[in-house]
Structure 1
């Protein structure tokens, strides 16, 4: 009875995983002959641990316990949280309805007798939906998530329709201009600021088209919100680029009278625009975020998008 109870509990966890939605998709768990041997050899025995509330990437995924070490070779919860934090903004972008399921299958895998990897189909659909968004921020699809590493068959987590690659975009979102989206609220905005290298308050002086990008020239007067690695000499004549944004709608860049919260990061020799939001003193929510930011400690992590 004891082993039957454990098996029932694990199947319940599995059903929760496969039922979780970032839209309204269905998942299936398939058993087939053969097994996937692309995983690692663990330095210590895997164990089931509770998913902590501050593991924001996965604490709402639909199950409460995860396997540690996980499937990305993270052996401590501190390392999991450190690495997972940089993926939270991508999930908030809703680039594909299955992004959270795919990432959490690796960062916080459901507890089973053996590791269960996402199917290659799931990786490919998420990659195809999200890589254009990542490229807009100067990030390539990372080597650690190369889809060829995952099983095509056998035991794996898969979308029911493996050829479905469409991404669903909520009202107000645009796949072409993700830094211009206005969806950010509370913790999501804090995560976006933390994921950006710097953030500041400024007005826009001029917007030009340069090849397929938009060149955003800021007015001289600026106030730092997050200094990051931005040097004083860079700040004086700061120019940012909206990658592949020459023809995309961006309401913020049409109004040069407003002050904005502007986020960015440096890629090669360019500063990329990673977020732009109206500096709205009349918004209680915005004021609350700015107040919280003063004492908010961003997670320290090595960027997993490299």
Structure 2
């Protein structure tokens, strides 16, 4: 069920006449895992009647969260998709909605999406003790994950034009990780969002704080969570291509900051990869 433009008041009133129940957050709801609670109330604040419906609808927000547009975006969305099961439903405050919208709506616009009417901030209450504000205490694991997140940008997932081997080596020094990987579109996907798979060979130039064997698993998670970014890289290579990916390790995730097409710039990239084996970073 999809609601066009519900108001929070009408939803809360309607829920008083329906059977409200507390259920475990499904393992498949990746959006709302690891937030410090595991029981949610159904129906939720978006009018979803079942956990399965909430899981299906919440998955479309994962690419946006992968862009790290706001440190509380996950808290805001999960207060709607999977409200914590207390004596009464606690909604997000209007200020939290406005803060998340100000940071995330421009990133959504990068990919052709506007802030949905269902999340208009006027429907949420002004700040008070019984709503979730931007300064609401989060679990230590959540705050640590977001404490050093760089500001998202529309160009985070654009293919870069190489300049020189020296510039590439400097980038490798500044990045947590660097990996040469082939991405191929999966023909088995029936989703509206294209699915991609890793090629059989993975050349890790730099693994940073990760253990040597962790890179493939982290890249698989990136493919799953950041489908919009991956699709952007493959826009001109629908059958797949080989890329140099560099970026930052954020908790259990990889944030890809720069990407280069190996087929477009084979000479510079191959030279940089060879020199990197013996390169010493300054500082």
Bin the TM-score by the shorter chain.
0.5 to 0.7
Are residues 1:95 and 2:69 paired? yes
Per the alignment, residue 149 of structure 2 pairs with 170
CA distance in 2, matches of 1:255, 1:197: 17
Per the alignment, residue 158 of structure 1 pairs with 133
Farther-moved stretch of structure 1 (174-183 vs 149-158): 174-183
Offset at 1:91?
1.3
TM-score, with length taken from structure 2? 0.53
Contact 1:38 1:150 in 2 (8 A): no
Per the alignment, residue 256 of structure 1 pairs with 264
Per the alignment, residue 37 of structure 1 pairs with 9
Offset at 1:197?
11
Offset at 1:62?
1.5
Matches within 5 A, 1:217-296: 218=236, 223=239, 251-252=259-260, 256-257=264-265
CA distance in 1, matches of 2:154, 2:135: 27
Per the alignment, residue 65 of structure 1 pairs with 39
Q: 1:125 to 1:200 in 2, by over 3 A?
A: closer
Q: 1:142 to 1:151 in 2, by over 3 A?
A: same
Q: 1:121 to 1:201 in 2, by over 3 A?
A: closer
Offset at 1:38?
4.8
CA distance in 1, matches of 2:46, 2:132: 16
CA distance in 1, matches of 2:70, 2:44: 23
Q: 1:142 to 1:201 in 2, by over 3 A?
A: closer
CA distance in 1, matches of 2:123, 2:93: 10
Offset at 1:255?
7.7
Offset at 1:50?
0.7
Q: 1:113 to 1:126 in 2, by over 3 A?
A: same
Q: 1:256 to 1:168 in 2, by over 3 A?
A: farther
Offset at 1:109?
0.3
CA distance in 2, matches of 1:222, 1:159: 40
**Structure with a larger share of its residues in helix:** 2
Q: 1:191 to 1:160 in 2, by over 3 A?
A: closer
* Correspondent of 1:190 among 203, 224, 230: 224
The CA RMSD over aligned residues, in Å, is: 3.6
Q: 1:251 to 1:189 in 2, by over 3 A?
A: closer
Contact 1:118 1:157 in 2 (8 A): yes
Farther-moved stretch of structure 1 (37-46 vs 53-62): 37-46
Q: 1:255 to 1:124 in 2, by over 3 A?
A: farther
In the comparison of the two structures, how many residue pairs are matched?
A: 178
Matches within 5 A, 1:1-80: 37-40=9-12, 41-42=14-15, 44-80=18-54
* Correspondent of 1:141 among 106, 111, 115: 115
User: Cα deviations across residues 17-54 of structure 1 (Å, max 9, x unaligned)?
Assistant: xxxxxxxxxxxxxxxxxxx7353413631111111221
